[in-house]
Structure 1
Amino acid sequence: MNSHASSPAGPVEVVDAGGVRTITVNRPGAHNSLDRELRLGLIDAFTAAADQSAAGGDVRVVVLRAEGRAFCTGQDLKEQLEDSRRGTGTRKVVDEYNPMTAALLSVPVPVIAAVQGPAAGAGWGLAMACDLRVASSEASFKAAFSGVGLASDCGLSRSLADAVGQTKALELLLLDEKIPASRAAELGIVTSVVEPERLDGAVEELARRFAAGPTASYREIKALVRDTGAVTDRAGEEADAQARLFTTQDHVEAMAAFLEKRTPRFTGH
């Protein structure tokens, strides 16, 4: 099978092979956390995948994966702290996170997330914006929002509720406990769990099956089942909630506690 890379090495790598487009997040040294360069790179990659998987396109299935031990740990905290010092980045949820999520949701063919390790915050949101999630037994999921006095983003409050129901989604987001792969499978968050050494093979097998299947049918079924508009609308509501919470005492305390390496003392304000 012939393959070619359609982007150079960087924070996002794109490779096509036999109708399968593989998009790889490549910031392993930063746990694949999302800085501006990565967010913009993913917007471009997802938009191109959507365009090239439309009717008549060569891309028949998309795989989202990551290098290193973590799938994606959400917002890059170094960038966040620098933004806090400078008063910058106040619109990144609206200008970058939401377009990134919307672009991923706009891909009309099946999208598979290969989750090899921790997926936290926006990283979990990206995984849930995919259609299927194949996880390594070393994978885990964590919202990581209420612990820092914030609300969810990337439409996670809707996509998670769609997957597990409102009551369970509320429990998972409020309690903010790490969910191991085995528990994620029980909850229906992931499609399957395999041993780490089998992850790439399992994802490739599933992707090849989709690439050899009736793509027009897959597009129509996906459009009927997934209410992507509801997820993008919820992402907009989440952005409003984030804006309200950024200046609360509890969020400021959470950031201070992180810097001082201590447990935050929340007051409810």
Structure 2
Amino acid sequence: MDYETIRLDIDNGLALMTLNRPEKMNALNTQMRAEMAHAVRHADEVARVLAITGEGRAFCTGQDLGDRASAGEVDLERTLRDEYEPVLRAITGAGIPVIAAVNGPAAGAGANLALAADVVIASQSAYFLQAFSRIGLIPDAGGTYTMPRAMGLAKAMGAALFAEKISADEASAMGLIWESVPDDDFDSHWRARARQLAEGPTLSYKSIKRLMRASLGNSFDDQIALEARMQGQCGRSRDFREGVMAFLEKRAPKFEGR
């Protein structure tokens, strides 16, 4: 697929998807959502980690309202079901770790796109904004699912009702994201994090993702049964054998992702 609104670069197991509408602060339109869904699925097939970032000064400012206006009356339910959900399901269902490298403002659906990733790393000057109530809407793109689980109901409710900016430092302190990084160090830092995952035990990461997400709906008994089953699978992997041998031989492991 030839991409026009994003870039996808794959190098030695690391796939980097860059949202590439800087003149629109990487706001999302129909074409962009389709390209993103395709790129995530492709990366899941050929890479060992996927990082998502934005070109220019923003990560993603959500829906391109100008795009909606040009299309006339819009069926928001259909847009979410047919255009947003494929992207979100591709990200959350990917068998490889997904990092959101939030380089600038992440607003509306752009904020919730980032929060759908497995790990969110933000530059210190970035912020997250649930802007929906400012135009008479509700948080969508999975926001009403991820926010209460990550930051608690009280904080999530306030973020949605007041539609105020949450700085990267605040987001990190309240557990909404993994970490906030000084701007000067941001690019090298998230790339090092991504490279670490690209060289790690991919089957283990896939299992961790599935277990963590399943735990939100499982009973304790169901969860420990799933843990046992998936640990058995990991224990039969080449990466587990390599990890043990590297430990015994006091050297760095060389994981193959199998």
| TM class by smaller structure | 0.7 to 0.9
* Structure 1 match to 2:201: 214
Amino acid at match of 2:55: E
Asked if the contact 2:68/2:74 (under 8 Å) is kept, the reply is: no
1:93 to 80, 87, 103: 80
2:108 to 121, 125, 150: 121
Rounded Cα–Cα distance in structure 2 between residues aligned with 1:206 and 1:36: 31
* Structure 2 match to 1:28: 22
CA radius of gyration, larger in: 2
1:67 to 37, 55, 66: 55
Rounded Cα–Cα distance in structure 1 between residues aligned with 2:195 and 2:150: 25
Shift of 1:37: 1.1
Asked if the contact 2:104/2:127 (under 8 Å) is kept, the reply is: yes
Asked if the contact 1:129/1:159 (under 8 Å) is kept, the reply is: yes
2:149 to 156, 162, 180: 162
* Structure 2 match to 1:148: 135
Amino acid at match of 1:73: T
* Structure 1 match to 2:8: 14
Rounded Cα–Cα distance in structure 2 between residues aligned with 1:89 and 1:24: 28
Shift of 1:87: 2.4
* Structure 1 match to 2:122: 135
Shift of 1:117: 0.6
Shift of 1:82: 2.4
Rounded Cα–Cα distance in structure 2 between residues aligned with 1:39 and 1:156: 17
* Structure 1 match to 2:34: 40
Matched pairs, number: 216
Shift of 1:34: 0.4
Let me know the Cα RMSD of the aligned residues. Answer: 1.8
Shift of 1:73: 0.3
TM-score, normalising length: structure 1: 0.76
Rounded Cα–Cα distance in structure 2 between residues aligned with 1:180 and 1:114: 15
TM-score, normalising length: structure 2: 0.79
Tell me the secondary structure at the aligned position of residue 226 of structure 1: helix
Amino acid at match of 2:23: G
1:80 aligns with 2:74: no
Asked if the contact 2:3/2:35 (under 8 Å) is kept, the reply is: no
* Structure 2 match to 1:264: none
